[in-house]
Amino acid sequence: MKSITIKSIELYPIALYMVEPLKTSFGVEPFKAAVIVEVVTESGISGWGEASVELKPGYGPEDIVTGLHMLRYHISPRLVNQTIESPVEVPRLIHAVRGNHHAKAGAEAAIWDAFAKTNDMRLADLFSHYAPDGHQTTNTVTVGVSIGIQPSVEDTVAIIQKRLNEGYGRIKLKIQPTWDVELIRGIRQALPDIVLMVDANSAYTLDDVDHLKQLDEFNLLMMEQPLPHNDILLHSKLKPQVKTPICLDESITTAHDLQLALDIDAIGILNLKPARVGGYSESLKIYAICAEHELPLWVGGMMESGVGRAANIAFASLPAVNLPCDLSATSRYFDPDITEPPFKLTDDSQINVPDGAGIGVKVDRERLTEAVARYNEKTPFK
């Protein structure tokens, strides 16, 4: 494959209004914040990536200002002028920068896109190339939708109904200790057969075991990240006490974390977010471990713009991703997005991988400029 030489890196902090905000156990964001990364190669190709940093360090430790800072002063300088023979070399180039996974993932993603475009390949095929032998892209991703905390059970049923009508075959509800058993009981009364799961975003402690056991009767697909973000050990103590499968999100930030979670039997399912683990190179390592151990796997999201979502969709088309992903249609997130064409849901709750090279969707520069202006106007960090 052809190598790329990075000539420059442009950073665009953006704000996009969400069609439907996502209230979680740690709060709600007024808009979707992210840093869009453009890597320009010596031969004039632009690769796009998204550092999906938010406004509050609630899900992860970064925010948009730290993301911008790390990208500008610590990550980009290590990449500009480098010749890259393979995108899996990137983590080594920025290894001296500790942590800051979302920022690193944004830069790495832009390089993956530039590399795929330089070699006139779809990103999905490039990921397949680095996946275990025989793991070709399936060209489609089975998806679900993530629904935030609503004021009442009735409101929640109404939104679920709307999403079911749009074609989503799996519903994820955000929960918190004051809003869980009663909510799920109400949903199950109205909708006994839907594929349903919950995400606690680390809101519980091991003292809540008896409380969490009450969710066992509702036939949930899984319970995502019930316990603290940095505590794999506690999840190993919870897992044998509940019937609902335990899915880890926040706790798994490296391939090493996943190996540990498997070794101590703390995990039943993995939500892999490429941003959380620092990019697609680490994601491919994690993917290979999941495939080897037959650990059920799906790809999560950070309410990414089309730039971040396109790459995640390409990754999620790998065959060992075998549960519905949090990669919904564009209409669930933004109107309009900064990319074209929008991602659409098929009748069987799937999204197709686009045909074009790289991420396969085009960045609309005018909308990108508007989104940067919106960020500069609305940012609380002036």
Residue 142 lies near ligand OSB (rule: CB under 6 A)? no
Residue 59 lies near ligand OSB (rule: CB under 6 A)? yes
**Hey, which residues does 134 pair with through a beta bridge?**
none
Member of 303, 323, 329, 338 binding ligand OSB (CB under 6 A): 303
Residue 59 binding partner per list Mg ion, ligand OSB, none, with a CB distance cut-off of 5 to 8 Å that depends on partner kind: ligand OSB
Residue 330 lies near ligand OSB (rule: CB under 6 A)? no
Member of 13, 169, 274, 301 binding ligand OSB (CB under 6 A): 301
Q: Locate the DSSP E strands across 200-347.
A: 223-224, 246-248, 269-272, 297-299, 339-340
Which range of residues in 88-96, 119-127, 133-141, 216-224 is near Mg ion by CB under 5 A? Answer: 216-224
Which range of residues in 38-46, 213-221, 283-291, 299-307 is near ligand OSB by CB under 6 A? Answer: 299-307
List, in order, residues 6 or more apart from 365 with CB less than 8 Å away: none
Residue 301 binding partner per list ligand OSB, Mg ion, none, with a CB distance cut-off of 5 to 8 Å that depends on partner kind: ligand OSB
Q: Locate the DSSP E strands across the chain.
A: 4-16, 32-41, 46-51, 83-84, 140-142, 145-147, 171-174, 196-199, 223-224, 246-248, 269-272, 297-299, 339-340, 350-352, 362-363
- For residues 38 and 199, which CB has a smaller minimum distance to ligand OSB in the complex? 199
Residue with tokens 């090279």: 357
Distance CA(214)–CA(15), nearest Å, equals 39
Residue 201 lies near ligand OSB (rule: CB under 6 A)? yes
Question: 114 in helix, strand or coil?
Answer: helix
Residue 328 binding partner per list ligand OSB, Mg ion, none, with a CB distance cut-off of 5 to 8 Å that depends on partner kind: ligand OSB
Which range of residues in 73-81, 110-118, 296-304, 356-364 is near ligand OSB by CB under 6 A? Answer: 296-304
- For residues 87 and 301, which CB has a smaller minimum distance to ligand OSB in the complex? 301
Distance CA(35)–CA(31), nearest Å, equals 13
Q: How far is CA 189 from CA 163, 185, 193, 221, in A?
A: 18, 6, 10, 17
Residue 304 lies near Mg ion (rule: CB under 5 A)? no
Which residues are identified as catalytic?
174, 273
Distance CA(113)–CA(46), nearest Å, equals 8
Which range of residues in 61-69, 188-196, 211-219, 301-309 is near ligand OSB by CB under 6 A? Answer: 301-309
First to last CA, the chain: 44
Q: How far is CA 339 from CA 12, 34, 307, 330, 342, in A?
A: 14, 14, 7, 10, 7
Residue 54 lies near Mg ion (rule: CB under 5 A)? no
Query: Minimum distance from CB of 200 to Mg ion (Å)?
Result: 8
Distance CA(254)–CA(285), nearest Å, equals 9
- For residues 13 and 324, which CB has a smaller minimum distance to ligand OSB in the complex? 324
Residue 337 lies near ligand OSB (rule: CB under 6 A)? no
Which chain residues interact with ligand OSB by CB under 6 A?
A: 22, 59, 146, 199, 201, 249, 300-303, 326, 328
